[in-house]
Amino acid sequence: MTVPSPAPGRLDGGWRTFQWLWGSQALSVLGGALSGFAINIYLVQTRFALPGQHAELAAALSLILLAWGLTTILGAPLAGALADRWDRRRMMLTANALNAVLMLLGVLMLTAITPPVWLLVLFTAAEGALAALHSAAFDTSYATLVPREHLPRANGMMQTLSSGAGVIGPGLGALVIGLPALARDGGGPAWLAAQADGVPLALYLDAVTFAVAALVLRHLHIPTPLRRDAGPGRPSLARDMTYGWTFILAQPALLNLLLTFTLFNFLTVGASVLRPLLLGSTLAGDVGAHWTPSSALAAMLTTLSLGSVLGGVIISTWGGLRQRRTLGILLPMAVAGLAQALSGAAGSVLLACAALGLSGLMVPAIAAHSMSIWQSRVPLEVQGRVFSVRRLLAQFTSPLSTAAAGLVAAHLSSGAALHWAGLGVTVLAAAQLFNPALRSLDAPAPSIPPDPATT
Q: Among 12-21, 210-219, 295-304, which range has the highest average pLDDT?
A: 210-219
Q: So what's the pLDDT on residue 49?
A: 76
Q: Helices 325-345 and 414-432 sit at what angle, rounded to 10 degrees?
A: 160
For the ranges 72-86, 158-172, 373-387, the lowest mean pLDDT is seen at: 158-172
Torsion of CA 374, 380, 386, 390, to 10 degrees: 40
Q: So what's the pLDDT on residue 446?
A: 55
Handedness of CA 282, 284, 285, 286 (dihedral sign): positive
Rg of the chain (C-alpha set): 23
Mean local confidence (pLDDT), 336-346: 95
Please report how many Cα atoms fall inside a 13 Å half-sphere around the Cα of residue 409, on the Cβ side. 21
Give the percent of the chain with pLDDT over 90: 35
Q: Where do runs of H (alpha helix) occur along 378-439?
A: 383-409, 414-432, 436-439
Check if the beta carbon of residue 449 is closer than 8 Å to that of residue 251: yes
pLDDT bin (cut points 50, 70, 90) of residue 448 is: very low
Inform me whether the pLDDT recorded for 2 exceeds 50.
no
Q: Is 195 helix (H, G, I), strand (E, B) or coil?
A: coil
pLDDT bin (cut points 50, 70, 90) of residue 357 is: very high
Q: So what's the pLDDT on residue 102?
A: 95
Q: Give the C-alpha separation, 441 to 435, whole Å.
A: 11
Mean local confidence (pLDDT), 291-298: 80
For the ranges 118-127, 288-297, 350-359, 416-425, the lowest mean pLDDT is seen at: 288-297
Mean local confidence (pLDDT), 382-406: 84
Q: What is the amino acid identity at position 217?
A: L
Q: Is 226 helix (H, G, I), strand (E, B) or coil?
A: coil
> For the segment 244-280, what is each residue's pLDDT rounded down to a tens digit?
999 999 989 999 999 999 999 999 988 887 888 888 8
Q: Give the C-alpha separation, 169 to 152, whole Å.
A: 25
pLDDT bin (cut points 50, 70, 90) of residue 10 is: very low
Q: Give the C-alpha separation, 244 to 383, whole Å.
A: 8
Q: What is the amino acid identity at position 269?
A: V
> Strand runs (DSSP E) across 60-147, as ranges?
none
Inform me whether the pLDDT recorded for 391 exceeds 70.
yes
> For the segment 185-231, what is each residue's pLDDT rounded down to a tens digit?
877 777 777 777 788 898 999 999 999 999 999 998 888 887 666 65
Q: Give the C-alpha separation, 246 to 254, whole Å.
A: 12
| Distances, alpha carbon 355 to alpha carbons 292, 341, 344, in Å | 20, 8, 9
Q: So what's the pLDDT on residue 231?
A: 59
Q: So what's the pLDDT on residue 365?
A: 94
Contacts of 234 (CB under 8 A, 6+ apart): 227
pLDDT bin (cut points 50, 70, 90) of residue 344 is: very high
Q: So what's the pLDDT on residue 209?
A: 94
Handedness of CA 274, 69, 375, 213 (dihedral sign): negative
Q: What does the angle CA 389 – CA 328 – CA 436 come to, to the nearest 5 degrees?
A: 70
Q: So what's the pLDDT on residue 326?
A: 92
Q: Among 111-120, 289-298, 300-309, 354-363, which range has the highest average pLDDT?
A: 354-363
For the ranges 29-43, 281-295, 434-448, the lowest mean pLDDT is seen at: 434-448
Residue of higher predicted confidence among 444 and 109: 109
Structure pTM? Answer: 0.82
Burial 109-128 (b: 16+ CB within 10 A, else e): bbeeeebebeebbebbbbbb
Q: What is the amino acid identity at position 335?
A: V
Q: Give the C-alpha separation, 95 to 99, whole Å.
A: 6
DSSP codes, 138-164: HHTTGGGTS-GGGHHHHHHHHHHHHHH
Check if the beta carbon of residue 14 is closer than 8 Å to that of residue 6: yes
In terms of Cα–Cα distance, which of 335, 309, 268 is closest to 162?
Answer: 309
Inform me whether the pLDDT recorded for 1 exceeds 80.
no
Q: Among 72-81, 329-338, 439-448, which range has the highest average pLDDT?
A: 329-338
Domains and CATH numbers, the chain: 11-154+161-226 (1.20.1250.20), 237-445 (1.20.1250.20)
Q: So what's the pLDDT on residue 453?
A: 42
Q: Give the C-alpha separation, 281 to 342, whole Å.
A: 14
Inform me whether the pLDDT recorded for 11 exceeds 60.
no
| Distances, alpha carbon 435 to alpha carbons 9, 372, 429, in Å | 31, 19, 10
Check if the beta carbon of residue 34 is closer than 8 Å to that of residue 169: yes
Q: Return phi, psi of residue 118, to 5°.
A: -60, -30
Residue of higher predicted confidence among 57 and 138: 138
In terms of Cα–Cα distance, which of 194, 164, 179, 443 is closest to 323?
Answer: 443
Q: So what's the pLDDT on residue 211?
A: 95
